[in-house]
Chains A and B, each alone.
Chain A
Amino acid sequence: MAATLSARLLRTSVRKHRNLIHRGLYRTSAPLNQQDGQSMSQTPIPPLEDVGPPQFLGLKCDWTEKLRFQAHVATEGYPVYRVLNRDGKVLDPSQDPQLPEEMLLRMYRGMTLLNSMDRILYESQRQGRISFYMTNYGEEGTHFGSAPALDDGDLVFGQYREAGVLVWRGYPLPMFMSQCYGNELDECKGRGMPVHYGSKKYNFVTISSPLATQMPQAVGSAYALKLAQKNNCVICYFGEGAASEGDAHAALNFAATLDCPVIFFCRNNGYAISTPAFEQYKGDGIVARGPGYGIASIRVDGNDVLAVYNVTKEARQIAVEEKRPVLIEAMTYRIGHHSTSDDSSAYRSVDEVRSWDQKDHPISRFRKYLVRRDLWDDDKEADWKNETKKQLMQAFARAEKLKKPPVSYMFTDVYDEMPPALKEQWDGLRQHLQQYKEHYPTSSFADEPAQTD
């Protein structure tokens, strides 16, 4: 009934307005909304003017009579913001963030701790003790520059090469190890691959393998924070390769149009596995895309921890106070292999890697800065290395000895409650295991928790 009524009205209206439709005058329904049908058809349409700016919807620009394609030839790229030179000298004293000594030392200790942990876990994968690992070599500066500039209540969405953010926030070493071993202390219950860390307590959203999926999610979470009137923002890390995914486009555009307090932090380390950045994009890196979305954007030297700090601090202020997104592109270099499943010498020269490792490493640059300020020396370095090594090896040995979680954890958390059909599947497996126990590694798994129904 309602359908036929509106269909009839629709037909008569179309008939009534047919002439106008023919003349193509309905450019937009927006202004028409505010008028009733009668006055609308009588509104005189002004003649097109030769002067005055174009009036296309959603544009602010001028006319031109010169035929010229924009950016047809690559022009000068965005500059790279830096504070320290490679000798750890502050180039412009006004740019030194003047961080308290304690904080500087905590940053440096965190960077080196992460580096030591990477070495131990990388080796343990080579020995077959854990199944997989990804190091953070060369990108420690991006983690320990950005994380201290945030509030610990700011929510972090990462890709997988951001373990330093967790280190900065105080995530315990045994937890890193437990996750890589998937043992019974792993909060993720042994379900994800190693390095897929997550922590509710430290506001670090659990990592997942599909690239860039976290980006629109980070935007949604930022919107939720805005709606809840929290004075926090979201930071979303991703690599320059992930930025090619459709989700990156979705995220940048949603963040801008919906005014979300989110910091997009791109780690541009030159490679996505074997693919060099010049096969990833033709524009001026990632930063140049920001303005296209209407996002405040900046490029920073990712090996300069103080520059990263300054940029992130400022970005956070824009995000939290102005409730809008910011894009940071941190230029760095992936010194390690992509992962333990990758041998990067198959696609890049050892010399190239060595040059970054020796001439421009975030840890050594920051150390030079600390030494210049008399905050650090070789003795302190040696003591700290010994101490962390001891801590790491202890955590490592303990994590290796622990049992895996109970097998029933394979079935829980799929839904909030186990559906009956899934319960049947678990019962089936349990019976099967009773009969064929010797063919499965049951002894390395913890006992089932007591039934609570």
Chain B
Amino acid sequence: VTGARPQPTAAYNMALTMSMTAITRPMRSLLGKKSSLRKLRLNNEPSNHLQKRCAAHFTFVPDTAPSSEGETARMNLYQAVTNSLDLALARDPTAVIFGEDVAFGGVFRCTVGLQDKYGKQRVFNTPLCEQGIAGFGIGLAVAGATAIAEMQFADYIYPAFDQLVNEAAKYRYRSGGLFDCGKLTIRAPSGAVGHGALYHSQSPEAFFAHVPGLRVVMPRGPIQAKGLLTACIQDPNPCIFFEPKILYRLAVEQVPLKDFSLPLGKAQVLQEGHDLTLLAWGTQVHVLREVAQLAQDRLNVSCELIDLCTLTPWDKETVANSVCKTGRLLVAHEAPLTAGLGAEIAATIQSECFLNLEAPVQRVTGFDTPFPHIFEPFYLPDKWRCFEAVKKLLIY
């Protein structure tokens, strides 16, 4: 049964656009939950200028699943998420999916078709209240159900901060293991999207990385999204799964159809190199992949590229081994610099690899400002800022 269900296709999407509601769906997903038809009307004829503004700041390079993984299908990231959720509901009769607007398929279409397939008891809308969603999910997990909650945007996870930090993270510890909410997974779209401004762009992973008891995970593409999300759902610890929303439609890969998971707590070395280690997660991995190419082409430098995958507890061993070999480390993330996850990594690596380091660890990140609207191209740690940091590392 599992994996055999056909995925939403372009034709399926087209069929949906025959109804008026289908217009609102991609629009809401492009513009965020506060937007309306009325607003879009004002700029329904995009200019060259607009298209340029929306151009992605990276190039997505698909992964290839080994042929041993069996049959594959072409999926973008949101479809890979749907596939993982579908398999979770099929595998586990206690699993439920809930959040704001998930019943009709979600504002990013990650839950399309699931309510029809599994019923209203298992895939349902909640009232618009993030602390309620998190608390409700904890309660489900405490009573033994598999709870898969959605926060519509990572930017809106803060009302649930108390439930996640004081409750979810500490449940097992404080009860001496009598109770836990390990069956809870929180999914949240995160990261820059081109025009999301302050509240549709944030990368809040560092807030949660400071909390013992939580796992924070972020995929870089569809195969990983499916494998890591499945792992989070099955992991006996509360997990926060941040989905880079700019990749939802843009990232397309051949994803294995079988039910599989990828290991949590393990970084992935995507490209071997010997001069320099580049470390990132989510969308930023693709930025650094281009940086590695630039460094190769322009400077004849060989970069080792690592995707951290699990952000907390993170895989110190893989990163430290790489830096001991290359002697140089660049960490890049979209979130602001101060007390970002890059700070933790830089401090740990200088402590672990002090004698191997040839240059201070470089951090290329968002600035210590809120995430801006029109200034996004200047805010992001794009390939040119990262490339410049690579040069600095080399000439130190």
> A residues within 8 Å of B by Cβ?
1-3, 5-7, 9-11, 13-15, 17-18, 21, 26, 29, 32-33, 35-37, 40, 155, 157, 186-189, 191-192, 196, 198-200, 205-206, 208, 210, 213, 215-225, 227-228, 246-247, 249-251, 253-254, 257-258, 412-416, 419-422
Contact of A416 with B21 in the complex, beta carbons under 8 Å? no
Contact of B127 with A253 in the complex, beta carbons under 8 Å: yes
Q: How far is the CB of A49 from chain B (nearest CB, A)?
A: 25
In the complex where A10-B26, A228-B94, A250-B129 touch, is A219 in contact with B142 (Cβ < 8 A)?
no
Contact with A along B27-68 (1 / 0, CB 8 A): 100100000011011001100000000000000000000000
Tell me which of B126, B136, B145, B313 contacts A421 (CB under 8 A). B313
Minimal beta-carbon separation of A364 from chain B (angstroms): 36
Q: How far is the CB of A86 from chain B (nearest CB, A)?
A: 39
Q: How far is the CA of A133 from the CA of B201 in the complex (A)?
A: 46
Q: Is the CB of B126 within 8 A of A257?
A: yes
Residue of A nearest to B175 (CB): A206
Give the contacting residue for A2; candidates B13, B127, B139, B182; CB below 8 A: B13
**B316 is contacted by which of A29, A257, A421 (Cβ under 8 Å)?**
A421
Q: Nearest chain B CB to A177's CB is how many angstroms away? A: 16
Q: Which of B163-171, B301-309, B383-391 contacts A (4 or more CB under 8 A)?
A: B163-171
Q: List 25 A-B contacts (CB under 8 A).
A: A2-B249, A3-B250, A7-B26, A29-B20, A37-B19, A191-B173, A196-B174, A198-B176, A206-B174, A206-B175, A216-B131, A216-B138, A216-B163, A217-B167, A219-B135, A220-B142, A220-B147, A221-B143, A224-B94, A250-B129, A250-B135, A254-B127, A258-B136, A413-B176, A419-B265
Chain A CB within 10 Å, residue with most, of B96, B178, B182, B317? B178
Judge whether B395 is part of the interface by a CB distance below 8 angstroms.
no
Chain A proximity mask over B132-162: 1 for CB below 8 Å, otherwise 0: 1011111111111101000000000001001
A215 CA to B135 CA, complexed, in Å: 8
Query: Smallest CB–CB gap between A198 and chain B, Å?
Result: 5
Does B212 count as interface, using CB distance less than 8 angstroms?
yes
Residue contact A6 to B17, C-beta cutoff 8 Å: yes
Task: Name which residue of chain B comes closest to A3, CB basis.
Answer: B249
Contact of B172 with A by CB under 8 A:
yes
B236 within 8 A of partner (CB): yes
C-alpha gap A217/B250 in the complex (Å):
37
Q: Is the C-beta of B124 less than 8 angstroms from some C-beta in chain A?
A: yes
Give B173's nearest chain A residue, CB to CB. Answer: A413
Known: A205-B142, A220-B136. 12 other contacts (CB 8 A): A2-B10, A3-B249, A14-B37, A29-B21, A187-B175, A208-B174, A227-B94, A228-B94, A228-B144, A254-B132, A413-B173, A415-B313
Q: Is B23 an interface residue (CB 8 A)?
A: yes
The distance in angstroms between the C-alpha atoms of A217 and B122, with both chains bound, is 17
Distance in angstroms from A63 CB to nearest chain B CB is 27
**B residues less than 8 Å from A412 (CB atoms):** 177
**Majority secondary structure, A binding face:** helix
Chain B residues near A1: list those with CB within 8 A: 10
Which residues of B lie under 8 Å from residue A228 when comparing CB positions? 94, 143-145
Contact of A188 among B167, B178, B250 (CB under 8 A): B178
Complex CA distance for A186 and B10, rounded to whole angstroms = 58
Q: What is the bound-complex CA distance between A37 and B21, given in angstroms?
A: 10
Most buried by A among B38, B140, B147, B180: B140
Query: How far does the Cβ of A407 sit from chain B's closest Cβ, in whole Å?
Result: 15
Question: Whole-angstrom distance between the alpha carbons of A197 and B241 in the complex?
Answer: 32
Q: Is A413 within 8 A of B40, CB to CB? A: no
B residues near A414, Cβ cutoff 8 Å: 172-173, 212-213
Closest 9 CB pairs of A and B: A220-B139, A216-B135, A250-B132, A224-B143, A206-B175, A217-B139, A221-B143, A220-B136, A419-B313
Tell whether B76 is near chain A: CB-to-CB under 8 Å: yes
B115 interface contact, C-beta 8 A: no
Asked if residues B126 and A258 are in contact (CB atoms below 8 Å), the reply is yes
CB-CB under 8 A from A216, the residues of chain B are: 131-132, 134-136, 138-139, 163
Are B176 and A208 interface neighbours, CB within 8 A? no
Question: Which residue of chain B has its CB nearest to the CB of A255?
Answer: B136
Q: Shortest Cβ distance from A120 into chain B, in angstroms?
A: 24
CB-nearest residue of chain A to B169: A414
B121 touches A227 (CB 8 A): yes
Bound form: Cα–Cα A216–B126 in Å: 12
**Contact flag A422-B170 (CB < 8 Å), given A198-B175, A213-B135:** no
Partner of B44 from the list A14, A188, A208 (CB cut-off 8 Å) is A14
Tell me if B14 and A15 are in contact (CB < 8 A).
no
Q: How many A-B residue pairs have CB under 8 A?
A: 217
**Across the interface, do A227 and B145 meet the contact criterion of CB distance under 8 Å?**
yes
Residues of B within 8 A of A415 (CB): 172, 213, 215, 237, 313
Which residue of A has the minimal Cβ distance to B213?
A414
Whether B254 is near chain A, meaning CB under 8 Å from some CB there, is no
Partner of B18, one of A2, A14, A36: A36
**With contacts A10-B26, A250-B129, A415-B237 known, is A17 near B172, CB below 8 A?**
no
One of B13, B20, B40 near A37 (C-beta < 8 A): B20
In Å, the complex CA distance between A192 and B177 comes to: 12
Q: How far is the CA of A37 from the CA of B18 in the complex (A)?
A: 6
- Contacts of B141 on A, CB cut-off 8 Å? 220
Given contacts A32-B21, A213-B166, A228-B94, contact A422 B135 (CB under 8 A): no
A33 to B179, CA, bound (A): 43
Residue in A closest to B17 when the chains form the complex, CB atoms: A9
- Given the known inter-chain contacts A10-B27, A217-B135, A413-B172, please indicate yes or no for A224 contacting B145, CB distance below 8 A: yes
How far in angstroms is the closest Cβ of chain B from A132?
Answer: 15
Cα distance, A220 to B37, chains bound together (Å):
35
Does B350 sit within 8 A of A, measured CB to CB?
no
In the bound complex, do residue B17 and residue A10 qualify as a contact, i.e. CB atoms below 8 Å apart? yes
Contact yes or no, A186 B96, CB < 8 A: no
Quick check: B178 and A254 within 8 Å, CB to CB?
Answer: no
Q: Are B176 and A21 in contact (CB under 8 A)?
A: no
- Residues from chain A with Cβ under 8 Å of B316 in the complex: 420-421
Which chain B residue has the least Cβ–Cβ distance from A38?
B18
Complexed CA–CA distance, A257 and B129 (Å): 12
Contact in complex: A188, B176 (CB < 8 Å): yes
Chain A nearest CB: distance from B217 CB in Å?
14
Query: Of A6, A37, A218, A254, which is in contact with the most chain B CB atoms at under 10 Å from its CB?
Result: A6
B72 CB within 8 Å of chain A: no
* B178 pairs with A227, CB closer than 8 A: no
Find chain A residues with CB under 8 A from B179 CB.
Answer: 198, 200, 205-206
A-contact 0/1 string along B97-131, CB 8 Å cutoff: 00000000000000000000000011010110101
B14 & A5 in contact (Cβ 8 Å cutoff): yes
CB-based contact A191/B174 at 8 Å = yes
| Bound: A223/B94 CA distance, A | 11
- A139–B137 CA distance with the chains assembled, in angstroms: 31
Given A5-B10, A29-B21, A14 contacting B41 (CB threshold 8 A): yes
**Any A CB within 8 A of the CB of B24:** yes
Shortest Cβ gap from A96 to chain B (Å): 35
In the bound complex, CA of A275 to CA of B131 (Å): 25
> Which among A3, A217, A416 is the interface contact of B182 at CB below 8 angstroms?
A416
Q: Whole-angstrom distance from the CB of A169 to the nearest CB of chain B?
A: 15
On whether A217 and B26 interact (CB within 8 A), knowing A206-B174, A247-B131, the answer reads no
- Which residues of chain A come closer than 8 Å to B129, judged between CB atoms? 249-250, 253-254
Q: Which residue of A lies closest to B134 (CB)?
A: A216
In the assembled complex, the Cα of A257 lies from the Cα of B37 at a distance in Å of 28
Give the distance in Å from the alpha carbon of A1 to the alpha carbon of B9 in the complex: 12
Inter-chain CA distance A12–B105, complex, in Å, is 23
Q: In the complex, which residues of chain B have a beta carbon less than 8 angstroms from the beta carbon of A3?
A: 249-250
Collect the chain A residues with CB atoms within 8 Å of residue B175's CB: 187-188, 198, 205-206
